[in-house]
Amino acid sequence: MTTSARPLSVAVIGAGMAGRAHAAGYRGVNTVFDAGLSPVRLAAIADANSALGEDAARRYGYEKALPSWEAVAEDPTIDAVSIVVGNDLHRPIAEALVAAGKHVLCEKPLAGTLEDARAMAELERGTDVVTAVGYTFRRSPAIAAIRDHVLRDELGDLTLFSGRYWCDYATDPKGPLSWRFKGGPGSGALGDVGAHVIDTAEYIAGPITTVSGASLSTQIPQRPLPLGAVVGHNAAPVSDELGAVENEDTASFTARFESGLVGTFSVSRTAFGLPNGLSFDVLGVGGRAAFDQHRPAEYLFDGAQPDARPSGARQIIAGPNLPYFKGGYPMEAPGVGGGNAEMFTYQARAFLDQVAGVAEPLPSCATFADALRTMEIIQAVVESSRQGGTAVDVPPAV
């Protein structure tokens, strides 16, 4: 176990959109919450696109840029690593890093295939290093507060969870055919954004046991081939040649939770005008809570009132009374905002707390086993769609 006697040395593999969020997150870990974590050494950012890697290393204060993930695995001074590259690369990189004795934080979805995800969960069971998955929405002060309402039974018996993740990054038919559009059913909008809303649902309401009524569709079946590297969701020069989109643009399904709760879900990457639209409602016989990522510094709550006055949802502004906020924001005052950058910092801090064995850490990160479960739910959704919407059981939670 790493101790506080020396700095923790971290690296990020992948210098694209999400990789930079991880890089910035590590940069901020010693500025949030209580003392106890040793200083963090920002060792390296690795990317096959050397210009991209060098730019990210400069921007976020890392010592160097490396040309390959193998260079990170071979560096004995690096303790902990984020994997933030294409899904198909997650398994070989994780296996090499764990073999080298490094702690691993892997972006979701866990892998490109269910077979690879199962192998990574088995790898986790056989290692002493910390392995974790980047479900950043668990670190939202508002979402964590809603979970607390549920755990304290302030909504009563739950009656409905309705979750949506609607994005517009694939709305333009001239957008390049990047790796995000490759892979079979389930690896498109379901794997990319659906993984987050599924994990959020189980985080709040418990295990999903069955899915049904699933429907997958692709609105833009062909896209132009890129002429060079594509970074994140950005536009890029394209050729006149078209290639087939291999996965879904939209998906919807119904779920049954272990508690008997019913859930409805829809995800899309072609939802016009919604750049990052994770939202959900959770209803019970005694209350309701709702969240919208486009308004991340608040949530709505409606619970039992002390008298018969007309009730209605109250806007709860994020402030020091919410999880993560006190000690996590430089300005600890309600209404100062919040967003993805802070969640990545909290996630990085929680991961390194686990690595360092901090006595009173933040709630632990999701595990490879947790992320395998999400992929098993996604696979059940795909099977339900193939079978015309019939109910498909999800393997029991371990």
Higher-confidence residue of 375 and 335: namely: 375
| 91 and 12 together in one domain | yes
Average pLDDT over residues 279-290: 96
pLDDT in tens, 47-88: 999 999 999 999 999 999 999 999 999 999 999 999 999 999
Of 98-107, 234-243, 339-348, the poorest mean pLDDT is in 234-243
* Average of per-residue pLDDT across 123-142: 97
Q: What is the pLDDT of residues 149-177, one digit of tens each?
A: 999 999 999 999 999 999 999 999 999 99
Question: So what's the pLDDT on residue 3?
Answer: 43
Grouping H, G, I as helix, E, B as strand and the rest as coil, residue 301 is strand
How far apart, in whole angstroms, are the C-alpha atoms of residue 226 and residue 242? 9
Q: Is residue 167 domain-shared with residue 291, that is, in the same domain?
A: yes
Reported as a pLDDT band with limits 50, 70 and 90, residue 2 is very low
Interacting residues of 166 by C-beta distance below 8 A, sequence separation 6+? 266, 267, 268, 271, 274, 277, 279
The answer to whether residue 157 is domain-embedded is yes
Q: Phi and psi for 328 in degrees, rounded to 5?
A: -105, -10
User: Which residue, 91, 122, 137, sits at the end of a domain?
Assistant: 137
Cα 202–86–200 angle (5° rounding)?
10
- Domain end, chosen from 119, 137, 155, is at 137
Q: Residue 360 falls within a domain, yes or no?
A: no
CA distances from 329 to 18, 323, 333, 341 (A): 21, 11, 8, 11
Within the chain, residue ranges assigned H as helices are 17-27, 50-60, 69-73, 90-99, 114-125, 141-151, 189, 195-205, 340-356, 368-386
Our CA angle for 377, 380, 385, nearest 5°, is 130
Domain match, 28 and 156 both: no
| Residue 251 falls inside a structural domain | yes
Q: Identify the residue with better confidence: 3 or 151.
A: 151
**Domain end residue (candidates: 137, 153, 169):** 137
- Please check the confidence at residue 306 and state whether its pLDDT lies above 70: no
How is residue 155 written in tokens? 């909504």
Is there a domain that residue 350 lies in? no
Q: Give the pLDDT confidence score for residue 1 in this predicted structure.
A: 40
Structural domain harbouring 275: 141-332+374-385
What domain count does the chain have?
Answer: 2
Q: What is the pLDDT of residue 294?
A: 94
Q: Within this chain, do residues 133 and 145 fall inside the same structural domain, yes or no?
A: no
CA distance 233 to 279: 20
Do 242 and 263 reside in the same domain of the chain?
A: yes
Query: Residue 45 is part of a domain; what is its CATH number?
Result: 3.40.50.720
Instruction: Please check whether residues 321 and 378 belong to one and the same domain.
Output: yes
203 shares a domain with 127: no
Residue 41 pLDDT grade (very low, low, confident, very high; cuts 50, 70, 90): very high
Residues 60 and 158 in one domain: no
Q: Do 192 and 128 share a structural domain?
A: no
The answer to whether residue 196 is domain-embedded is yes
Is 352 within a domain? no
In-domain check, residue 351: no
Residue 35: is its pLDDT beyond 90? no
Digit-coded pLDDT (tens) for 163-212:
999 999 999 999 999 989 999 999 999 999 999 999 999 999 999 999 99
DSSP state of 378: H
Does 71 share its domain with 54? yes
Task: For residue 312, name the pLDDT band (cuts at 50, 70, 90).
Answer: confident
User: Do 150 and 20 share a structural domain?
Assistant: no
Q: Which of 313, 344, 271, 359 is nearest to 1 (CA)?
A: 359
pLDDT band at residue 228 using 50, 70 and 90 as cut-offs: confident
Question: Would you say residue 97 lies in a domain?
Answer: yes
Q: What percent of the chain has pLDDT over 90?
A: 85
Single pTM value for the model: 0.94
